[in-house]
Structure 1
Amino acid sequence: MLHQPIKFALTSVLVLCFMSFNSFAQTCNCSQEFNYVKDKIEKNYAGFKDKVNSKTEAIYRKRTQVALEQSASIKTPAHCIYLINDWLTFFRDGHIQIGRNRISKDLEKVKLQGRIQAIESIGLSNDQLTNLKNTKGITGIYWNEDSSARIAVIRNKTLFRDYAGVVISAKAGMWLPGQVVLELKSGKDTLKGIMYDKYYIPTSVSLLIKGNALGSFKREGSKQSSGEIFSEATVASKVLSTKTLYIKISTFNQNNARNIDSLFKANQSNLSKMPNLILDLRNNGGGADFAYSPITPYIYTKTVRNIGADVLATDDNIAGWAAIATTNGLPPDQKVFISHVIEKMEQGKGKLVSFSDDSNISLDSVATYPQKVIILINKHCASTTEEFLLLAKQSSKVTLMGEHTAGVLDYSNMRGADFSCMPYMLYWATSRSRRIDEGLAIDNIGITPDKVLSPEQNWINEAKYYIEK
């Protein structure tokens, strides 16, 4: 098989608030940071010319000017990063992200007590809580995804929010009653803003408003999901019956590649004789393409078409690719592949240069078993996982079950750079798939399952029933 490009995806967009007003004002300037980010995106993001075109340029310029004007009055790092994140949503690309850099991680524990003291608190009376139990719309009482915290969502308008999420109760070591851990602004069908994690670090969130749920938060008293328990293991397997083997892979991160390879080797006997395989890729946000290579011989049935990609050759992008080549545990063949990419980029600066050819991938034989493969997918499947699914769905053995994937793939191969002042990193996509030119883009669309499953169903049981019937 041909070398495949490496894609790295972050599972969330993290923002960090651990500096006081004084230290931020003394050392950083939000307008300066905004302009720095804007410059990096305009020069290095492989999708910029697609996203800012003759139809959208005026909107982009106006939005940028408004953000720049707002940045001049911002005095806290959390609100500065919130503004920059909000500006970045123009591009509607999950491969543009802001993350903590190494310095901020080192300081995280040291600054924890200061963040706890700085967190806003709102007191709620018993009468207010009783009324919230009976409200409709967005306000109400909610439980988070693992039921470790009970949150009151109240209308509480400021410059940066329309709603506040106030802790009613939480398990030990998490939040304290009265703390404001959600700051949300209204959108068409979403609430966007900040959620503070258990370390009181603000995370940029977008919560879909749907029925009795705000994203993963469920209204108290509403019907819950199937109660299916998700394993925390990065890989897992289980024989469900004499006919069906279950394998779970939580990430294609390159650090998990050896675990995936070992898991398939350990299950070689089962895979060579059992007719059915359920491959659970739910919540797999991506990683590196070479990590899924142990799977392909078991799902392959015919020659597979792979559409290649181009990389934007800039100095920052070249530096980003060179940094990846030094990653611990990277296979030697991938280091060679990256060196070839960098060589092409050096020769074609300022242009999109091909680094992954269109190809037809063929294996020498088709495995007799498994005969049928169900792949479980959900909205958190993204990036490299979607790349794998585009190949897998060309197999006559494979059925996709679950829900639409994230749709974060057309622009990929994220690379990054430190902010100019604040302790964050900006990541952007350096490559552009030629699927776009063929009208086969999937960004913000996702990959559609062959059979849709609802959150109330036990997906593993449903897959087992379907594949064995």
Structure 2
Amino acid sequence: MKVTVASLFLLILCSVNASAQTCNCAEEFQYVKDKIEKNYAGFRDKVNPKTRAAYQQSSIEILAKARQVTSSPYCISLINEWIGFFKDGHIEIGRNRLSDYKFVKDQEKLVQDVEKLALEEDDLTRLKNSKDISGIYWSKDSTYKVAVIANKNSFRDYAGIILESRIKAWKAGDVIMELKQQQGALKGIVYDQYYTPENVTLKIGQNRLGEWQRDGTVNDRIEKIPDADVSGKLLSAQTFYIRIGTFNQRNAKGIDSLILFNKDVLDKTPNLILDLRGNGGGADFAYRPLIPYLYTNPIKTVGPDILSSADNIAGWAGLLIKNDLPEDQKNFIREKIAAMEQHKDEFISLGADKDLVLDKGLLFPKKIVILINKGSGSTTEQFLLAAKQSKKVIIMGENSAGVLDYANVRDIALSCMPYALHYATSRSRRVDMGKGIDNVGIKPDRPLKAGQNWVTAAQEYLEK
């Protein structure tokens, strides 16, 4: 059956009604608000005498809207709007990582609620020739090919329908985008690979919606970043290249193995390019193998304090069941949990300010370029603060994400909906020193532009 605008409208109404949740959005919002106020390490900084009135007004407005919402994704979008008050990338609603069983059950529920819309061949032909917002687009990394169609309900003006996906979770016909046109942009939600709605603003450009590119057009300004978690290759006799896509604890062994496997090359190659673009962080111990290669002098580190609330204690205790966490890290966590138990609802030191001193640095590489962009955040920024102190290192690219002042993220399952609240439990003492980086990021020594090939630019800089 051919899908007309009218029939599409009826389909979406039926779909929204069919997927309406029994969960109460207002109650879920109040639950999240209470958890943030009790457990988020940055709450006392962000809600102060100057901002308290604005915070209270925002909360009142969101609560009033929540009472009118019945859809689970739309409720999460509303809660994310409220979370935006804190301007902290370490607070978000995401997938439930607390247990494999809970994660699987949540995913089963979310799969059932995925909206589906069918398109006929003549609809696709029309979209291929479209010159307006409607059309066929590819995601920046070519993971998704979607058809963006005009399709209104109370939340959206446009829907993005999967045509092709490299992520098995998403099938052809699934609605992955819900967007409303506002002031030269499309605002709304794009669902991630775990079906969690993420609030987005996509600027409307020529053949582009944000970083989504219209099918059949080319954007020469976007350089494709390797998607490997860890890889390395010799670019020339003078320069070795390492790509690390994440410092997630599960990638720690891979990083260590790559360094060991290429030790002979690293020990005689004068230049190293370390590509950390899009590396959103992970665990500090994952970057340990890199430190000897950049070390030239003692590395100063400012430690964080942790808020010892009951939920935070439980969150940290949950790390002890992870098999990919080294035993020395588990012993450290046990010590901190014991200290937190003795100082409930107080900030305690998670780590002292210290200088890292090695016997000596390695002769090679002699020069290191670290590539960063706005996707380089959290633990990656902690690594960058250490790397900047080396006489070997120059950082190139664009400002990092700026999400480190409040860190050590833990999860709390939502009270009803199949998601979890992710939030920061620690606060860096750099904040009191006036050296915070949140919402600013770490500035590169040499900025690079989108039109450049950054790896080539780094190699040319090192070898000139």
TM-score (norm 1): 0.85
Per the alignment, do residues 111 and 349 of structure 1 end up closer, same or farther by CA in structure 2, a change over 3 Å counting? Answer: closer
Are the aligned partners of 2:225 and 2:277 in contact in 1 as well (CA < 8 Å)? no
Match for 1:119 among 103, 113, 116? 116
Correspondence for 2:302: 307
Paired positions, count: 443
**Could you say what secondary structure the match of 1:181 adopts?**
strand
Are the aligned partners of 2:190 and 2:200 in contact in 1 as well (CA < 8 Å)? no
Are the aligned partners of 2:145 and 2:163 in contact in 1 as well (CA < 8 Å)? yes
* Separation in structure 2 between the aligned mates of residue 227 and residue 70 of structure 1, nearest angstrom: 39
Correspondence for 2:337: 342
Per the alignment, do residues 129 and 383 of structure 1 end up closer, same or farther by CA in structure 2, a change over 3 Å counting? Answer: same
**Could you say what secondary structure the match of 2:70 adopts?**
coil
**Could you say what secondary structure the match of 2:289 adopts?**
coil
* Separation in structure 2 between the aligned mates of residue 78 and residue 112 of structure 1, nearest angstrom: 10
* Separation in structure 1 between the aligned mates of residue 93 and residue 333 of structure 2, nearest angstrom: 24
Correspondence for 1:63: 58
- Establish whether residue 398 from structure 1 lines up as the match of residue 393 from structure 2: yes
AA of the residue aligned to 2:312: N
**Could you say what secondary structure the match of 2:260 adopts?**
helix
AA of the residue aligned to 2:75: C
Equivalent positions of 1:37-436 (< 5 A) are: 37-101=32-96, 102=100, 105-107=103-105, 114-115=112-113, 118-119=115-116, 129=127, 132-133=130-131, 135=132, 142-147=137-142, 149-151=144-146, 153=148, 158-161=153-156, 163-167=157-161, 169-170=163-164, 175-176=171-172, 180-185=175-180, 191-196=186-191, 201-209=195-203, 211-212=205-206, 213-219=208-214, 223-225=218-220, 229-436=224-431
Point out the more displaced range, 265-274 or 93-102.
93-102
Q: Which one has more relative contact order, counting CA pairs under 8 Å at least 6 apart?
A: 1
Are the aligned partners of 1:250 and 1:283 in contact in 2 as well (CA < 8 Å)? yes
* Separation in structure 2 between the aligned mates of residue 364 and residue 387 of structure 1, nearest angstrom: 22
* Separation in structure 2 between the aligned mates of residue 70 and residue 408 of structure 1, nearest angstrom: 29
Point out the more displaced range, 255-264 or 145-154.
145-154
Per the alignment, do residues 112 and 82 of structure 1 end up closer, same or farther by CA in structure 2, a change over 3 Å counting? Answer: closer
* Separation in structure 1 between the aligned mates of residue 144 and residue 390 of structure 2, nearest angstrom: 43
* Separation in structure 2 between the aligned mates of residue 129 and residue 23 of structure 1, nearest angstrom: 28
Q: Which runs of 5+ in 2 are unaligned?
A: 1-14
User: What's the CA shift string for 1:8-47, capped at 9, x where partnerless?
Assistant: xxxxxxxxxxx98578654x22121111111100000000
* Separation in structure 2 between the aligned mates of residue 112 and residue 344 of structure 1, nearest angstrom: 39
Q: Which runs of 5+ in 1 are unaligned?
A: 1-18
Point out the more displaced range, 419-428 or 390-399.
419-428
User: What's the CA shift string for 1:386-420, capped at 9, x where partnerless?
Assistant: 10001101111111112221111110001121111
Point out the more displaced range, 106-115 or 368-377.
106-115
**Could you say what secondary structure the match of 1:274 adopts?**
coil
**Could you say what secondary structure the match of 1:324 adopts?**
helix
AA of the residue aligned to 2:199: V
Sequence identity, in percent?
48
User: What's the CA shift string for 1:267-299, capped at 9, x where partnerless?
Assistant: 111111111011111111111101111100100
Task: Tell me how far 1:245 sits from its aligned partner.
Answer: 0.8
Correspondence for 1:456: 451
Are the aligned partners of 2:139 and 2:212 in contact in 1 as well (CA < 8 Å)? yes
RMSD: 3.0
User: What's the CA shift string for 1:424-466, capped at 9, x where partnerless?
Assistant: 2111100001111111111111111122222332221121111
Task: Tell me how far 1:230 sits from its aligned partner.
Answer: 4.2
**Could you say what secondary structure the match of 2:432 adopts?**
helix
Task: Tell me how far 1:227 sits from its aligned partner.
Answer: 7.0
* Separation in structure 2 between the aligned mates of residue 451 and residue 85 of structure 1, nearest angstrom: 34
Are the aligned partners of 2:117 and 2:161 in contact in 1 as well (CA < 8 Å)? no
TM-score (norm 2): 0.86
